[in-house]
Amino acid sequence: MSHTAKPIAIIDSGLGGLTVAQELRKQLPCEDLIYFGDTAHLPYGSKSAETVTAFVRRIIRFLISERPKHVVIACNTATAVAMPALVPEFADLPISGVIEPGARAAVVAAGTKRVPNIGVIATEATIKSKAYDRAIMRRRHLAHVFLRATPLLVPMIEEGRTSEDPLVEMALRQYLQGMLLQKIDVLVLGCTHYPLLKPAIAKVVGPRVKLIDSAEQCAQDVARRLARRQMLRSPTASKTGEKNDSDKVESPAGSMRAFVTDDPSRFASLAGHFLQLPIDKPTLIDSHQLEKADAPSTYLRAG
């Protein structure tokens, strides 16, 4: 398999990373995607850094056999608490997350205001890590950053609740009340589940507040990284291997395969419900299969 034809792997605790998959499909339609939803252990946001790191380490080791050209940790919690340890551990495997792209976009959206007010909603673990706070302040020293843990939102989404659900709006109004009193200019949706509730969030904060979709920014970041490494799959392929335009044919749309650690049918149903992203029934991976794959973490590139 050529380097450019290798898949992009996406890791999340459940459904949220599908928002990244959806954005990647829009921006890089020829790429093959592999999605791993650790549905047996969601939500990650209420767990310790050590526990989340152990979960993600095992998933990466499992996915190494798929020969990914890039791994996206499409979970803000895992990006905040696990990536610092796992990037050096898997030094030969390109890994990126969602926090730096989201922070960068928030600073850009704040514009020229001397001291912008930037809000971040995320899981308890992400907020406790202060990863967004640090990432934003590195780029905008005079910004006021307001952080708010919103622990009910991920379980609500995983239950199948949508922006139209009155309980969702009630929870959002409670969580966002303090930030609105601070007159925030920008709100970062610091969990890849949260774009699924974007209509309700936009309704609560109003048109003046700019929303930063961490999933969208993450996908743009992955596209830039792959382009820089010349690893993007070409939209055209030559039938003969010669540079003759008449021989070139359009490559088929990229495929998407999914793995989950619990209840594949429910995952597939909710994925279609929220994202209108039909996927084949995911493959169930149990703890024994993950333990079996829990081998040395060296990533060997295929020739």
The catalytic residues are 75, 191
Side-chain half-sphere CA neighbours of 147 within 13 A: 19
Return d(Cα 42, Cα 17) in angstroms, integer: 12
Give Rg (Cα) of the chain.
19
Structure tokens at 119: 């809000």
Structure tokens at 24: 């990647």
Structure tokens at 199: 């209509």
Return d(Cα 52, Cα 58) in angstroms, integer: 10
Return d(Cα 23, Cα 97) in angstroms, integer: 14
| Residue type present at position 211 | L
Distant-in-sequence, close-in-space partners of 162: CB < 8 Å, separation ≥ 6: 168, 196, 197, 274
Return d(Cα 98, Cα 105) in angstroms, integer: 11
Q: Is the peptide bond before 43 cis (omega within 30 degrees of 0)?
A: yes
Which residues on adjacent β-strands are paired with residue 105? none
70, containing H or E segment: strand 70-73
Q: Are 67 and 99 in contact (CB under 8 A)?
A: no
Angle made by CA atoms 61, 66, 69, in degrees to the nearest 5? 95
